[in-house]
Amino acid sequence: VKKEIVMGGIRPTGFLHLGNYFGALRNFVRMQDEYPCFFMLADLHSLTTHPDTKELKNNIHRVLAEHLASGLNPDKCALYCQSHVFETAELYLYLNMMSMVGELEKTPTFKDKVRQHPQNVNSGLLTYPVLQAADILLHRAHLVPVGKDQEQHLEMARNIAGRFNHRYGDVFPEPVAFNFGSELVKVPSLDGAGKMSKSENQYATLYLSDPDDLIRKKVMKATTDSGPKEPNTPKPDYIENLFLLMKLVSTPEVVQKFEADYNACTIRYGDMKKQLAEDMVNFISPIREKAAAIQQDTEYLKKVMVQGAEKARVSAQATMKVVREAMGL
Ligand code: ADP
Ligand code: NA
């Protein structure tokens, strides 16, 4: 087992989608065998945009079941719920003093969220990257498996850690974004517009919980055109996105076949989407079935979270002891 500590998290705000899976969860599963790992269901982060907590417990159980169904093993990592580890809140408070309002206001994700939630621009939204830094630094983590959309938050976590170290002494490593491939992943949306996310367009996002027929329907609705007219035409974004999705779930041979067809101007997008739909179904349905079964066993899910919180708090308390000493508190 390597020495670098890993920290990752996903918000339990709904169903997990393919972006969460390929940006974060797939890396979590691979990393649990090689590194000491902390993985968290970020329920406190959910409160910034989802203050109504009626559905939160259910969502936590479902998302936890989806983590387990994807292959996370609670004996190989600390798998916990953020609000169970109270030390997070204390570190968040100290780190707020290391965070600059000007920098936070410039974060693109803050601007996006203001646009999406104009009736609830709370300061938790603004300080979201500070809470994220607290999650990571609480375990003095080095590696943070995230999708491309989180790159800038990681830079802020490094700035915050650097300021703390500069003022109070060397306590925190400077964490970096991590993906097993060479680059961070951005899973595109099926409507050709930006990244896949919990979206208002019900056909743009593939969820790990989608039934087979819905997966097929969503893929078949993806935008295409009549195909390239000349060999080796650059792909428009919506076509490039279909290829990107195909690379995630189809075999290299299948991808190569359609690339060749594209370049020879013989591609039939109907066939390509049918193939992509079947490969998606084969990828998603075993995870969906497993998650549905695990989700029934709420006693087991609670046990996993209790065990995870115990492990996470041992690490958190050790860090907070060092932090308070460094700060002279
Ligand atoms: P969401 O953006 O759906 O609310 P979170 O903010 O909780 O989800 O993000 C959880 C993880 O999923 C993060 O590591 C994020 O980078 C990753 N992620 C979300 N959407 C995508 C995507 N389209 N492509 C790659 N990674 C993604
Ligand atoms: Na995100």
Question: pLDDT digits over 153-164, tens only?
Answer: 999 999 999 999
Q: How far apart are CA 109 and CA 113, in angstroms?
A: 6
Q: What is the pLDDT of residue 200?
A: 73
Q: What is the pLDDT of residue 201?
A: 82
CA neighbor of 160 nearest in space, from 92, 76, 214: 92
Residue 214 tokens read as 């819905």
pLDDT of residue 317 exceeding 90? yes
- Is 311 one of the annotated binding-site residues? no
pLDDT band at 91; cut points 50, 70, 90: very high
Cα atoms found within 13 Å of the Cα of residue 64, Cβ hemisphere only: 30
Q: How far apart are CA 143 and CA 181, in angstroms?
A: 14
- Ligand 1 atom 10, closest CA: 10
Q: How far apart are CA 20 and CA 28, in angstroms?
A: 11
126 touches 105 (CB < 8 A): yes
- Is 285 one of the annotated binding-site residues? no
| Chain segment 46-65, per-residue pLDDT in tens | 999 999 999 999 999 999 99
Q: What is the pLDDT of residue 244?
A: 96
Q: What is the pLDDT of residue 191?
A: 87
Q: What is the pLDDT of residue 301?
A: 98
Query: What DSSP element (H or E) covers 124?
Result: helix 123-126
pLDDT band at 90; cut points 50, 70, 90: very high
The CATH number that domain 6-178+298-327 falls under is 3.40.50.620
- Is 106 one of the annotated binding-site residues? no
Q: What is the pLDDT of residue 2?
A: 82
Q: How far apart are CA 42 and CA 146, in angstroms?
A: 14
Does 6-178+298-327 match 212-291 in CATH topology?
no
**Any ligand 1 atom below 6 A from CB of 60:** no
- Reduce the secondary structure of 151-181 to three states and give it as a string: HHHHHHHHHHHHHHHHHHCCCCCCCEEECCC
- Ligand 1 atom 15, closest CA: 147
Q: What is the pLDDT of residue 227?
A: 94
Ligand 1: nearest atom to the Cα of 146: 14
From the CB of residue 167, how many other CB atoms can be counted at a distance below 10 Å?
11
**Any ligand 1 atom below 6 A from CB of 150:** yes
Domains of the chain, by residue range, sit at: 6-178+298-327, 212-291
Q: Is 19 exposed, middle or buried (0-12, 13-18, 19+ CB in 10 A)?
A: buried
Q: How far apart are CA 133 and CA 121, in angstroms?
A: 20
What is the third-level CATH fold of 212-291?
Tyrosyl-Transfer RNA Synthetase (1.10.240)
Residue 251 tokens read as 């075999």
Q: Who's near 111: CB < 8 A, 6+ residues apart?
A: none
| Chain segment 105-129, per-residue pLDDT in tens | 999 889 988 998 899 999 999 999 9
pLDDT band at 135; cut points 50, 70, 90: very high
**Residue 30: C-alpha distances to residues 7, 70, 248 (Å):** 13, 11, 16
**Any ligand 1 atom below 6 A from CB of 18:** no
Q: What was the ipTM of the complex prediction?
A: 0.94
| Closest-approaching ligand to the CA atom of 195 | 1
pTM of the model: 0.95
Residue among 16, 20, 56 to mutate when testing ligand 1 (max atoms within 8 A of CB): 20
pLDDT band at 14; cut points 50, 70, 90: confident
Q: What is the pLDDT of residue 199?
A: 75
Pairing of strands 143-145, 176-178: parallel
pLDDT above 70 coverage of the chain, percent: 100
Q: What is the pLDDT of residue 281?
A: 98
CA neighbor of 67 nearest in space, from 26, 95, 36: 26
Q: How far apart are CA 317 and CA 86, in angstroms?
A: 10
pLDDT of residue 100 exceeding 90? yes
Strands, DSSP E only, in the chain?
6-10, 37-41, 78-81, 143-145, 176-178
pLDDT of residue 224 exceeding 90? yes
pLDDT of residue 22 exceeding 90? yes
248 touches 18 (CB < 8 A): yes
The mean of the pLDDT values for the chain is: 96
CA neighbor of 275 nearest in space, from 295, 304, 293, 253: 253
Q: What is the pLDDT of residue 240?
A: 95
